[in-house]
């Protein structure tokens, strides 16, 4: 049995949240641009002061006409701003805070819409691609919002909100009417364990990919010696890379459990642990790529930049797994619901 009214309420909540996220993206982008411009100006001032100090240090300079103004050469005056601070003092955080508030509203909306979807069908809302999309988006928003309560992560907003919006938009394209599960999925225990962990893992991998992209962009700018515009609003590349690695350290063990529980569920549903079904193969491919990333990250012969590219290949494999494999390749896991 399905409840059309609850299903409609769920759809409205998700659509409204998508609109709120669009406003949050604008606010976060404005914050990053303003912060980057302020940091860029401060960097230019520091460079100018260092140039003046170098000129004063040249022998014979003191004999020139005119006496330069004394400079504050204390360590605090020339110190580089710590990378953990994402906004310089004196710069308003108004737009970033507005973006965070809007993100919290959207988080409640997407989570609420997901819960209403489950109530409308009286089961875990994980039976098709649309439901997988809204649950993954819910986890990504919750993780980002909670993380931001502990650390200043306003600069990360655009990198998280944009892919979440893409997921929700794709979910609407893949929209499936609320209905009951197909027989192979009608196992509450394994559905709740296996697919819930899969959505949580994907959410963490999304945030990891967002951090990885931010690291590569900032690192390229630092290598060229031109950290300009909104890139100046990001933390230093080394800090971004450390956060990228940290997120993947959490996500990879969860995906390992996804692989194991999927095999167990396959034995329950189809009488074998492994049958080389396309979905099974791609789940293992994703696991292997992220294992390669972690190995490359720990290997001295690989640069952190090259290792991060491997992590982004893993994200690409996830996208292929939940689009091409679900929609175009026929197998035992063909339950996207899109063709229904």
Q: What is the pLDDT of residue 27?
A: 95
- Reported as a pLDDT band with limits 50, 70 and 90, residue 3 is confident
Q: Per-residue b/e over 177-191, b at no fewer than 16 CB within 10 Å? A: ebeebeeebeeeebb
Q: What is the pLDDT of residue 65?
A: 45
Is pLDDT above 60 for 90?
Answer: no
Main-chain phi, psi angles of 330, to 5 degrees: -85, 135
Kindly state the helix (H) or strand (E) to which residue 287 belongs, with its residue range. Answer: helix 278-298
- What are 238's two structure tokens? 């080394």
pLDDT per position as a tens digit, 91-120: 668 999 999 999 999 999 999 999 999 898
Give the list of residues 6+ apart from residue 12 with CB closer than 8 angstroms, or none.
113
Kindly state the helix (H) or strand (E) to which residue 100 belongs, with its residue range. Answer: helix 94-121
Q: Do the Cβ atoms of 243 and 211 come closer than 8 Å?
A: yes
Helices 278-298 and 237-270, packing angle to 10 deg: 150
pLDDT per position as a tens digit, 40-71: 666 555 555 666 565 555 555 554 544 444 44
């Amino acid at each position: 049995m399905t409840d059309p009214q609850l299903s409609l309420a769920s759809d409205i909540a998700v659509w409204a949240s998508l609109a709120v996220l669009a406003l949050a993206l604008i606010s976060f982008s404005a914050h990053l641009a303003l912060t980057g411009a302020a940091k860029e100006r401060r960097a230019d001032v520091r460079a100018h002061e260092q140039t003046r100090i170098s000129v004063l240090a040249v022998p014979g300079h003191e004999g020139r006409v005119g006496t330069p103004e004394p400079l504050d050469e204390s360590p605090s005056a020339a110190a580089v701003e710590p990378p953990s601070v994402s906004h310089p003092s004196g710069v308003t955080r108004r737009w970033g805070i507005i973006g965070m508030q809007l993100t919290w509203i959207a988080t409640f909306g997407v989570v609420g819409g997901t819960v209403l979807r489950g109530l409308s069908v009286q089961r875990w809302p994980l039976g098709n691609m649309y439901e997988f999309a809204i649950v993954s988006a819910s986890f990504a928003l919750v993780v980002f919002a909670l993380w931001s309560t502990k650390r200043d992560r306003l600069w990360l907003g655009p990198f998280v909100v944009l892919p979440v919006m893409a997921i929700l938009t794709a979910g609407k394209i893949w929209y499936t009417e609320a209905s009951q599960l197909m027989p192979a999925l009608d196992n509450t225990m394994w559905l709740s364990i296996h697919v819930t962990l899969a959505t949580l893992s994907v959410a963490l991998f999304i945030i990891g990919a967002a951090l990885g992209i931010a690291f590569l962009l900032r690192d390229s700018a630092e290598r060229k010696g031109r950290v300009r515009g909104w890139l100046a609003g990001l933390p230093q590349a080394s800090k971004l890379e450390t956060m990228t690695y940290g997120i993947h350290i959490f996500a990879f063990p969860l995906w390992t459990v996804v692989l194991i529980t999927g095999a167990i569920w396959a034995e329950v549903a189809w009488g074998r642990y492994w049958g080389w079904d396309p979905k099974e193969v791609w789940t293992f491919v994703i696991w292997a790529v992220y294992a390669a990333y972690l190995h490359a990250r720990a290997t001295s012969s690989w640069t952190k930049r090259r290792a991060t590219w491997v992590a982004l290949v893993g994200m690409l494999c996830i996208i292929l797994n939940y689009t091409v494999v679900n929609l175009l390749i026929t197998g035992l896991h063909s339950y996207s619901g899109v063709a229904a």
